[in-house]
Structure 1
Amino acid sequence: MVVAMTVAREWLDPQLAPVLIAVITLAVLGTTVLFVVGLVAYARRRTTRYCLITVVLGVLVVRSITGLGTVLGLVPMTIHHLVEHGFDFLIAVLVLYLVFRSGTTSNGAAAEYDD
């Protein structure tokens, strides 16, 4: 734990630490609320689209918690980068999949994909 705090001090300005912790805490709270809303929406609709949106929101929660753990010295920077940047890619892939899946038909009308 002492080694982790020493490493955190090397990249984290002590004057900005409270601001960073506050911002990341708000991100954790905000993404958690969005995830719960996504769960409720999925419970109502039970479609693949809503399931994937809920998964993306859950990944955002884990991503935010990883950031908070890094600032607090609980998550090593290497794990932080692997998790956060790996999740960035996963989120992008899932969102693009949803966008392409809900594209337009050949006559210009919106496709009715709500599976």
Structure 2
Amino acid sequence: MASVAQPLHALAGGGAELMLPTVLVLAAVGSAVVFTLSVVAFRQRRSVPYLLVALAFGALAGQTLIGGLTTANYLTGSTHHLAEHALDVVIIALLIGAVYYARKIETR
């Protein structure tokens, strides 16, 4: 019978019990700060590319939230991975949209 591979962040042992919560807290603080700054920049510029970048940073903060909810056993591992990869797609789409829109406006 083949063993099911586990993602590295799902494995615990050694001194790793505190590592994941510590990283999640640092990621939460960092993503909240960057998201807040991006919202402030959008409010100043009021342009679509700034909005799309702010939404991408919001989705990045959402990934940290998903990780925290999973660590606190509010989400299953499969839901965690589906949500995180869905947010990856959202972040990529928003950033590509921001670059495309900015380039489109720049060439006018």
Q: Structure 1 length normalisation: TM-score?
A: 0.75
Which residue in 2 is equivalent to 1:69? 69
Letter in 1 for 2:67: G
CA positional deviation for 1:94: 1.4
> Which residues in structure 2 correspond to 1:8-87 (within 5 Å)?
11-14=10-13, 15-87=15-87
**Structure 1 runs, 4 residues or longer, greater than 6 Å off:** none
RMSD: 2.0
Count of residues paired in the alignment: 98
Would you say the 8 A contact 2:49–2:99 is kept in 1? Answer: no
CA positional deviation for 1:71: 1.7
Residue identity over aligned pairs, in percent, reads: 28
- Structure 1 unmatched runs, 5+: 1-10, 105-109
CA positional deviation for 1:80: 0.6
* Aligned CA distance change for structure 1 residues 101 and 60 (closer, same or farther; 3 Å): same
- Distance in 2, matches of 1:54 and 1:71, equals 26
| Bigger-Rg structure (1/2) | 1
For each residue in 1:41-62, what CA deviation from the matched residue of structure 2 results, as whole angstroms up to 9, or x when unmatched? Answer: 1111111111111111111111
Q: Structure 2 length normalisation: TM-score?
A: 0.79
Letter in 2 for 1:12: L
- Structure 2 unmatched runs, 5+: 1-9
